[in-house]
A and B are shown apart, each in its own frame.
Chain A
């Protein structure tokens, strides 16, 4: 079957063109051995069928980053290449076009965002452009679907242009000549909207707008996530799923072992979704009933932020601050996600360029960023003592995050790429691209996280059956007493925290601890171990060596913080 590859710069609406052209069978998968995602689809349109492949967005073919290498390989296998170009930024886009021409593959240019160009007072002579480049040029508006049919028809007219390979300078000179011949500007007066847009990138106003947006994101994610839980998921689990489990419970009475593994131990004579620890009870509930709603909410908001073009601006605004802890501006995305649930936070470290940075951010998230359930328990246990104990826990976590970040910055050596980031113009998000993207991401999360988390819950469950946990608890009990001033019962709670932090916190309440002990326990629970789900995701994403390092750092950091708190409070 004919292979058609979409190639173009980042932020030119390539994925929108892909969504517009693609058929029902779209698969998105990592390119073998990499974290670069490639979408493929079988397309059957107006009598022609072909395989459509979305190459990663790139500025040039010859650069040495992973995305460029992969894009180059995919283009080499193509029968026809569609060069998606942002018509509003023709000059810069043409650099890649010239490189594609040199590849000697049949080429078609899709001149995207044609509507935007006209409203900005830019005129492009399409016929002349097509003639100068020697390939068909089709103006399209991917968001509305305008020109898509013509683009598919033009695939048969794709041509190999005659072009002489040249150096960078020669190429830019040729591009300059093409631009001179085809593009004219008419005067365009900036509107008040343009001034607001610009304010989001100015040092002071941009900073405050950024804070406002961050707060809004945080609030919206909780609002949507909690809304999904109370209106859809909780009713479903309690009225539909619970009776099903009870029936299964009866059916399994022939094998106590199987029953414990699948449904878990009864709590107060019945199945408890949070404490039974069975694969089908706690396993399913925690992942689908607690974590999933926040993931859906976050990916929706993140998708909207990406599509409006605000995300790169936020990354730019925070870059300076995050540099102090050895990170780039984009590290704000996984960190924010981590505030909902650490699992998607660590999965989202894939947006970062270097493996070192992914490691640092993952460690920082699991140590200093309390997930929604950790925050719930901090409020639940300390809320009744007023504002300051809760505030204190948050401040300690923030401080630990900063200090650990600075330490890691100087100890984890590695390549830190220079920041060169394109800031796309603001655009209205388009639901036909927002929703499929949300679906792809949620599907990806389910596919990747469900199996590992289930495996982790199974392992913990088996450990409980062998009484290993009380043994561990007894062993570290004396250490807790002398160093942290906590009773030895807390060690069991800390061990339990490995599974679910919120359950563990609930167990603190009957222990009659002082406020100081509660603050120390809360901080320890938040910093000490990640929950089993986070643990498994770090293992899967960064490997066993990094997991051991991360765990070591967490234990040391948590213990150290606990000791300091015990001394100063």
Chain B
């Protein structure tokens, strides 16, 4: 089971970006890199540190990441997803 990308595997490392999180996992947002006012944009959508989110899917061909929070779905481009750091609870 241990492959190269396991450097970011939740068993070894509990805080990582939304991209490295596995589909189906649930975690808590711990930090957002604030570039180009990103934190504010995400904030008005309800994505703030402390928010619980579940990763639903990672679309093919470098497509967006789909997350679920409060029973609603959101799609985030890779550029955005990379800047959201999540702590996975086991």
User: Is A204 in contact with B70, judged by CB distance below 8 angstroms?
Assistant: no
Given contacts A92-B70, A95-B44, A168-B43, is CB(A320)–CB(B75) below 8 Å?
A: no
Given contacts A63-B41, A319-B77, is CB(A92)–CB(B63) below 8 Å?
A: no
User: Is A317 in contact with B40, judged by CB distance below 8 angstroms?
Assistant: no
| A419 to B74 CA separation, bound complex (whole angstroms) | 10
CB closest chain-A residue, reference B42 = A420
| A317 to B76 CA separation, bound complex (whole angstroms) | 12
Which residues of chain B have C-beta atoms less than 8 A from A89's C-beta? Answer: 70-72
CB closest chain-A residue, reference B44 = A60
Q: Which of B50-90 contact A (CB under 8 A)?
A: 56-64, 66, 70-77, 79-80
User: Is B45 in contact with A92, judged by CB distance below 8 angstroms?
Assistant: yes
Which of these, B57, B70, B71, contacts A201 with CB under 8 Å? Answer: B57
Which residues of chain B have C-beta atoms less than 8 A from A206's C-beta? Answer: 57, 59
Q: How many of A's residues come within 8 Å of B, CB to CB?
A: 38
Kindly specify which of A107-115, A343-351, A392-400, A421-429 makes contact with the partner chain: A421-429
User: Is A316 in contact with B63, judged by CB distance below 8 angstroms?
Assistant: yes
**Number of cross-chain contacts by CB at 8 Å:** 110
User: Is A316 in contact with B40, judged by CB distance below 8 angstroms?
Assistant: no
User: Is A95 in contact with B57, judged by CB distance below 8 angstroms?
Assistant: no
Given contacts A89-B70, A321-B61, is CB(A169)–CB(B45) below 8 Å?
A: no
User: Is B44 in contact with A63, judged by CB distance below 8 angstroms?
Assistant: yes
Which residues of chain A have C-beta atoms less than 8 A from B48's C-beta? Answer: 168-169, 172
Which of these, B41, B59, B61, B72, contacts A420 with CB under 8 Å? Answer: B41
User: Is B76 in contact with A420, judged by CB distance below 8 angstroms?
Assistant: yes
User: Is A203 in contact with B64, judged by CB distance below 8 angstroms?
Assistant: no
Given contacts A59-B44, A59-B45, A201-B66, is CB(A421)–CB(B60) below 8 Å?
A: no
Which of these, A59, A120, A320, contacts B71 with CB under 8 Å? Answer: A120
User: Is B56 in contact with A418, judged by CB distance below 8 angstroms?
Assistant: no
User: Is B41 in contact with A91, judged by CB distance below 8 angstroms?
Assistant: no
Q: Does chain A have a CB within 8 A of B36?
A: yes
Which residues of chain A have C-beta atoms less than 8 A from B37's C-beta? Answer: 64
Q: Does chain B have a CB within 8 A of A198?
A: yes
User: Is A91 in contact with B70, judged by CB distance below 8 angstroms?
Assistant: yes
Which residues of chain A have C-beta atoms less than 8 A from B72's C-beta? Answer: 88-89, 92, 422-423, 425
B interface residues (Cβ-Cβ under 8 A, vs A): 36-38, 40-46, 48, 56-64, 66, 70-77, 79-80
What are 18 A-to-B residue pairs whose CB atoms are below 8 Å?
A: A92-B70, A95-B44, A96-B44, A201-B56, A203-B58, A203-B59, A204-B60, A207-B60, A317-B59, A320-B60, A320-B62, A321-B63, A323-B63, A418-B36, A418-B79, A420-B74, A420-B77, A422-B72
Given contacts A324-B61, A329-B64, 9 further A-B contacts (CB under 8 A): A60-B44, A92-B72, A168-B40, A203-B63, A320-B60, A320-B63, A321-B63, A418-B79, A425-B72
